[in-house]
Amino acid sequence: MTSEGKSTAPPTAATTSMTLRQHLRRTLRLAVPVVIARAGLLIMVAVDTAMVGHYSTLQLAFYAASNAAQIVMILIGVGLLQGTVILVSQAHGAGSDAECGQFWRIGVLYGLFFGTVMALLCLFGEWALGAIGQTPELARGGGDVLRVIAWGFPGLIMWVATSFFLEGLSRPLPGMLVMLGAVLVNAALNWVFIYGNLGAPAMGAEGAAVATSAVRWAMLAALGGYVLLMRDGQRFGVRGRLSDAWRLAKKLRRLGYPLGAARGLEAAAFSALTMMAGLLGTVPLAGYQIALNLVALVFMAAIGTATATTIRVGNAVGRRDATDVARAGWAGAILIVVFMLCMAGPFLGLGGPLAAIYSDDAAVLNAAVPLITIAGLVLVFDGAQAVLMGALRGVADVWVPPFLQLIAWWGIAVPVGYILGFVVEIGVDGLMWGLLAGTMAISGALTLRFFVVCRRPIARY
């Protein structure tokens, strides 16, 4: 919570706080379509990974190197625009519906700007991969993939702003339906461009990038069109004059900078560990990418639940209901911990069959199976920290959590992973143990932080 924009007016009507059970039910109902929509992004990555992996182990390594680079930019972009869902949910909870669409339009403009910047950065992918120690072959192949990915970046980031707007209004179904369609189209285009069907050249990892970039623009067109044609669009300010834009844009920026930094710190730490795996060789990198992709796929449940928790907490802030703020946050945390404990079982016992989805290479499978086992433990703590971050975002507590993440990711996860992997010489398994240490640290720290924040006065940002 911050003092900027604090309302001193009393609530307009008395409110009755919901029970924890009611919060669990409503958070779950909101989270399911958000989870499906978020999971769609990672399902596309998983499909790309599997289809490229069956095409060639070397092409899978190229794809992994490019993905490690672009995922940092994607998550920074998501963080920079995450203020959209916070401000929309708080405004909607307070009954200030006309402001919601204005936050969306400003968010789309920022998405165009940030997406273009990220696209330009992708053009220097080969140089960046080489500068951090990747082999010339891996840097060149990963850079080629990034150059193709570049032209889809603006569409993706603008789609993120649009989906955040609808989720802030508790309308996640359109985003879910668009994503389900995008997954199917992406898989079909992969079949064409990765393997060279229907007269197209066989492009391997670059073919997956062609499919992904095209689909990202299609997703924006579909979801943006829905928003512009909403029957109650006028009520929510999606059309008409953009009034008081500078003040609203300032709010979005002030939330976006620390949220972008938080996302970037986390993504950069994950990518740093992936790059370390690349220093160990192509096979360890491919195995590590498989384990990390499985984690990321299940982690979408945490991302979706975190977004639902942000919305539920933001609505309670808009109503200025301190009891509901706390219950909404803890409800989200309970839901994700239970879910992640259930998902840890297959990781611990079915590593072989899970790895076989991605590759037929025996060496890659041998590297991936123990990593998947450790990843099962990572899931529980990583899911908890993500949802607690979402709860803190709902009350616009956006400065302290990035500092805690800096300590956990760069003070614990990366150094521990390096020491175990290269000094103790455990190899690629040590990198995953380092990741586990970092997730345990940040989940504990954010639990304490939410306890503290829940005891403060509630005010809208």
Q: What is the pLDDT of residues 193-224, one digit of tens each?
A: 999 999 999 999 999 999 999 999 999 999 99
Report the range out of 217-221, 356-360, 393-397 with the highest average pLDDT: 217-221
What confidence category does residue 15 fall into, taking pLDDT thresholds of 50, 70 and 90?
Answer: low
**460 within some domain:** no
- Please say if the pLDDT value at position 42 is more than 80: no
Please give the average per-residue pLDDT across 443-458, as a whole number.
Answer: 94
Q: How many domains does the chain have?
A: 1
Instruction: Check whether 376 has a pLDDT greater than 90.
Output: yes
pLDDT greater at residue 293 or residue 206: 206
What per-residue confidence (pLDDT) applies to 132? 76
Lowest mean pLDDT among 167-171, 217-221, 254-258: 254-258
The pLDDT of residue 98 is: 87
Indicate whether 431 belongs to any domain.
Answer: yes
Write down the pLDDT at residue 65: 84
Provide the residue range defining the domain that includes 134: 20-453
What is the rounded average pLDDT of the residues 6-13? 39
Residues 81, 263, 85: CA angle, nearest 5 degrees: 30
Q: Kindly state whether residue 459 falls inside one of the protein's structural domains.
A: no
pLDDT of 12 strictly over 70: no
What's the CA dihedral at 382, 386, 392, 397 to 10 degrees? 90
Residue 54: Cβ-neighbour burial (10 angstroms; 0-12, 13-18, 19+): middle
Task: Give the model's pLDDT for residue 166.
Answer: 96
Residue type, 2: T
Q: Please say if the pLDDT value at position 4 is more than 70.
A: no
Answer whether residue 160 is part of any domain: yes
pLDDT at position 53, please?
Answer: 85
Give the whole-angstrom CA distance, residue 422 versus residue 433. 13
Between the two ends of the chain, the Cα-to-Cα distance in Å is 7
Give the torsion through C-alpha atoms of 346, 351, 353, 359, to 10 deg. Answer: 140
